[in-house]
Structure 1
Amino acid sequence: MRLPVMSDDSEATTSGDGAKAKRNGFAGAIDWDLAAKTGATLSPRGPSTSRYSAEQAVTELSDASIRAEGPVREVTGLADGLPIPQAQVVDRAGWIQAAAQSMSQLTGTGADGEDRGLLGGKPGGVQAGAMLAFLSTAILGQYDPFTGENGTLLLVAPNIVSVERMLKLDPSDFRLWVCLHEVTHRVQFSSTPWLSDYMQESVGVLGEVGEESASDLIGRLTDALRERRKGGEQPAEQRGVVGLLRATQAPPQREALDRLLMLGTLLEGHADHVMDAVGPSVVPSVEQIRAAFDKRRKRAANPLQRLLRALLGMDAKMAQYVRGKAFVDAVVAQVGMANFNTIWTSAETLPLTSEIEDSAAWVTRVLG
C-alpha cells in the first residue's frame, strides 16, 4: 500500500541564548534529507491489498479523523470552536519523510546551507534513516505540532490495516478508535498554544553543548551505575537506556529531558483516557479493541526486536501510556474533567516527576 504524502514548510525556532556561549549539539549531526531517503529505501512495504481496499481505507481514515473531533471535544471540553484541519493519510515512506522534516525543525538543524562539518551529517543521516525505517512499521498515527499552520495529523494507513487484520477487529471501529487518540493530541496542542513552544524550548536546552569535560560526564555515569548496583525500584524514567542517557547529562539537560518525559506521559495518557471514555455509543467494539490492543502491547518480542525497542525508547513510550492513563483516570475520577483541565494552564501546572504516580499530590499542589 503506497499512498502520497504532502509536506508543509514552516520556520522553526531555537533556544539557548545566554552569557556563556552554547551551541546546538544537534547541529551538523544528522543530514535529515539523507535520513528520509535512507528510511524510505529500507522501510518494508505494507500489507498486500487491492487498489480498491487501499482507496477505501484512505477515504475512511480521512473521514474518521473529522468525525473523531466531536467526541474528543465533548469528552475533553477543549478546542471548542477551533477549526478542524484535514488529516493526511500516508504510507510508511510518507511518514518517514514527514518525521524527518519535523525532527529537522524541532532540533533546529534543517536550515538551508547549514554547515554540517566534514562528513555533512551523513553517518548520522544513515543511522537516523535506519531507525525511522524500523519505527515506520509500528506508528499508527502522529500529530506534529511543528508543521503546517495548524499542525499536521498523520495517519499511517498500511500499519492501521495491518493491525486491524492481525487482531481481527472491526475495521471501521478500529480506524475511528485510532483517530480518537491522534485527534486528542491535535486538540491538546491547538487549545494550548504554549505547549509547542514549551516542547521546543526543552529540546533546545537538551541540545545545548557547554564547556563540560569528559571526566564530568564519566563521573555522572559511574555514579548512576553505582546506584543501580545497590538495587531497589527505580522510577520509570531512570530505567533502561533512557535512564542511562539521563544519568550522563548535566543538570540543565537532565531537567529538560524530565520535562519532555513528563509531558509525553501526560499527553499519551490523556489520549488513551479519551479514546476509551467515548464509549460504545461512538465505537461499538471499544472494549474488544482495548483488550486486544493491550494484549498486543504486552506480547513478547524476539531478542533483536527487544534490543531495538530499548535503543529507540519504545519500551519507555509503552510505560508512558500506562502511567499517564492511570494518572489522568485518577485525577478525572477525583475532581472531574473540568478541574483536570487546569493542567493545561501553564508549565507550572503540568505534573512533576514525583506526581505522575501520585495524582493526589498534583491535585493538592495545583487545585488546593
Structure 2
Amino acid sequence: METVTTSEDVEAGDVGEGDVDARESLPVDIDWATAASVGKRVARPGPRVTRYTSEQARIELIDAAVRAEGPVREVTGLADGLRVPSARVVDRAGWIDAAAHSMPAMLTDKTEPATGWSSKIAGAQTGGMLAFLSSAILGQYDPFSLDSETEEPGVLLLVAPNIIGVERQLRVVPSDFRYWVCLHEVTHRVQFSANPWIAGYMRDNVAGLADGDEDSVTQLLTRVTESLRSGKPREKGMIGVMQLLQSPEQFAAFERMLVLGTLLEGHADHVMDAVGPAHVPTVDSIRKAFDARRSGPKNPLQRLIRALIGMDAKIAQYVRGKAFVDEVVETVGMERFNTIWTSPETLPLASEIDEPSAWIARVL
C-alpha cells in the first residue's frame, strides 16, 4: 500500500491488495461488530461528489476490473480458463463492513462472536484502525470473503471515494487512473484464483503468530539481553523489534507473511508496468505522480500513524518485491518465474528477496 495526503483526510490513496499488514498485528479476541460500528462512526466520508459522478465512477470501475483481467492473465500466464468475476465498488463504510467480516475468517477458526468487555475494548481500538485504513485504501482483493454470485471465497473491493479523491489530487485522467488501479488489484485476484493454496498458507501463518502463551516481561528482557550479548546482526527498524518481542516460531511466521506480501505486491507492481503502456495512455504521468506521493514528505502525525500500522514497511515491500520480480523475469522469463507459485517451498526466502539469483539457483 502506498498513501497520499489529501486536504480532506489525514492520508488517502492506497493501491494494495494483499493487504496483510493490518491483519498481522490484530489480536484474535475482538468484538468485530463493535469494530465495524466504531469504524463507521469515526471514518471520514470522503470527497464531495455528485450522485451522477459517484454512479459513473461505480460503472467505470466495474467495467475496468473486467477489462483488466485479460491483459493481466496474458502477461502473467496465470488463471487461464477461469471465470472472470465482477468487482464490488464500495464507499468507506462498505469497506469497513467487508473488513470486519473477512478478518475474523483469517484470524481465527472460531464461529461464535467474541464477548466481554476486553473484546469490546479491542473492537473499539480495531475500529479506529479500520476507520483510518478506510481512507487509505484504493482497492483490495479479499481472498476470505464469499462472492455473493458464486458463494466461493474471493472478492475484489474498489473504494470509489478514495479513488476519486486521489485522481483529483494527482490531476490525472480519471478513466486511465481507474483502469491503472484495477490492473494492480486484478493481479492480486489472479494470483489467488490461480493458486488457491496461498489463502490457506496465509491463514496458517497468522495462526502461527497467535500460537503460544504471551511471554512474560522476564522472558522478553531475557531475549533482548541474549540478543545484545550474542553480537549477531539484527534487522533494523520494526522488523528488528518484532524479532526481539516474538518467540522464534512466531517471528518465523511473521517473516513468512512479510516475504509473501513482498512477493504479491512486487508481482502486482511488475504487472502494472508491463501492461500499462499498451492499455493506459497516460501511464507515465500517473506513475510519476504516484511515486512522487509515495516518497513525499509527511507531517509528524502521519509519520507516527504510518509507523504504528506498518505502512512504511508496506511501501518497502513494493520496492523490494518489484525489484525481485523484475530481475527474475528478465533473467528466466515469466513462464519459469511462475514456478514460484508451486508451493510454500518454492516461495523466496527472506534472504533471497534482495538476491534474486539465489532464488533462481535454489528453485530453478
Same fold (TM over 0.5): yes
- Code of the residue aligned with 1:174 in structure 2: it is F
C-alpha separation between the residues in 2 aligned to 1:293 and 1:131? 24
CA-CA distance at 1:27 after TM superposition: 4.0
Deviations 1:175-212 (A, max 9, x none): 00000000000000110111111110000111112375
SS in structure 2 of the partner of residue 155 of structure 1: strand
Would you say the 8 A contact 2:177–2:286 is kept in 1? yes
Alignment equivalent of 1:329, drawn from 316, 326, 329 = 326
2:190 matched to which residue of 1?
187
Q: Number of aligned residue pairs: give it.
A: 334
C-alpha separation between the residues in 1 aligned to 2:285 and 2:88? 27
2:10 matched to which residue of 1?
none
Root-mean-square deviation (CA), in Å?
2.0
1:35 matched to which residue of 2?
35
C-alpha separation between the residues in 2 aligned to 1:108 and 1:241? 25
CA-CA distance at 1:223 after TM superposition: 4.8
**In 2 relative to 1, CA 296–315 (structure 1 residues): closer, same or farther, beyond 3 Å?**
same
**In 2 relative to 1, CA 120–210 (structure 1 residues): closer, same or farther, beyond 3 Å?**
closer
Would you say the 8 A contact 2:180–2:276 is kept in 1? no
1:137 matched to which residue of 2?
135
1:204 matched to which residue of 2?
207
Equivalent residue runs for 1:175-254 within 5 Å: 175-210=178-213, 212-223=215-226, 226=228, 238-254=235-251
SS in structure 2 of the partner of residue 266 of structure 1: helix
1:349 matched to which residue of 2?
346
Gaps of 5+ in 2: 1-25, 147-151
Equivalent residue runs for 1:62-77 within 5 Å: 62-77=62-77
1:15 matched to which residue of 2?
none
- Code of the residue aligned with 1:163 in structure 2: it is V
Would you say the 8 A contact 2:33–2:123 is kept in 1? yes
Counterpart check, 1:279 vs 2:282: no
Equivalent residue runs for 1:284-303 within 5 Å: 284-303=281-300
Q: Which moved more, 1:37-46 or 1:278-287?
A: 278-287
Deviations 1:244-293 (A, max 9, x none): 12321111111000000000000000000001101322111111111111
Counterpart check, 1:151 vs 2:154: yes
C-alpha separation between the residues in 2 aligned to 1:216 and 1:121? 26
**In 2 relative to 1, CA 89–239 (structure 1 residues): closer, same or farther, beyond 3 Å?**
farther
- Code of the residue aligned with 2:78 in structure 1: it is L
**In 2 relative to 1, CA 173–264 (structure 1 residues): closer, same or farther, beyond 3 Å?**
same
C-alpha separation between the residues in 2 aligned to 1:84 and 1:170? 26
**In 2 relative to 1, CA 113–364 (structure 1 residues): closer, same or farther, beyond 3 Å?**
closer
Which structure: greater helix fraction? 2
1:174 matched to which residue of 2?
177
Runs of 4+ in 1 over 6 A off after TM superposition: none
**In 2 relative to 1, CA 44–81 (structure 1 residues): closer, same or farther, beyond 3 Å?**
same
Counterpart check, 1:46 vs 2:46: yes
**In 2 relative to 1, CA 134–222 (structure 1 residues): closer, same or farther, beyond 3 Å?**
farther
Deviations 1:34-69 (A, max 9, x none): 111111111101111111000000000000000000
Would you say the 8 A contact 1:65–1:176 is kept in 2? yes
Gaps of 5+ in 1: 1-24
C-alpha separation between the residues in 2 aligned to 1:223 and 1:287? 50
CA-CA distance at 1:99 after TM superposition: 1.1
- Code of the residue aligned with 1:220 in structure 2: it is R
**In 2 relative to 1, CA 264–307 (structure 1 residues): closer, same or farther, beyond 3 Å?**
same
C-alpha separation between the residues in 2 aligned to 1:299 and 1:290? 14
Would you say the 8 A contact 1:343–1:350 is kept in 2? yes
CA-CA distance at 1:241 after TM superposition: 3.1
CA-CA distance at 1:101 after TM superposition: 1.4
Q: Which moved more, 1:239-248 or 1:358-367?
A: 239-248
Deviations 1:75-112 (A, max 9, x none): 00000000111100000111111112111111116622
- Code of the residue aligned with 1:188 in structure 2: it is Q
- Code of the residue aligned with 1:331 in structure 2: it is V
Alignment equivalent of 1:311, drawn from 298, 303, 308 = 308
CA-CA distance at 1:311 after TM superposition: 0.3
**In 2 relative to 1, CA 212–307 (structure 1 residues): closer, same or farther, beyond 3 Å?**
closer
Would you say the 8 A contact 1:26–1:109 is kept in 2? no
**In 2 relative to 1, CA 332–307 (structure 1 residues): closer, same or farther, beyond 3 Å?**
same
Greater RCO, CA 8 A, separation 6+ = 2
- Code of the residue aligned with 1:122 in structure 2: it is K
C-alpha separation between the residues in 1 aligned to 2:224 and 2:38? 33
C-alpha separation between the residues in 2 aligned to 1:93 and 1:211? 33
CA-CA distance at 1:227 after TM superposition: 8.4
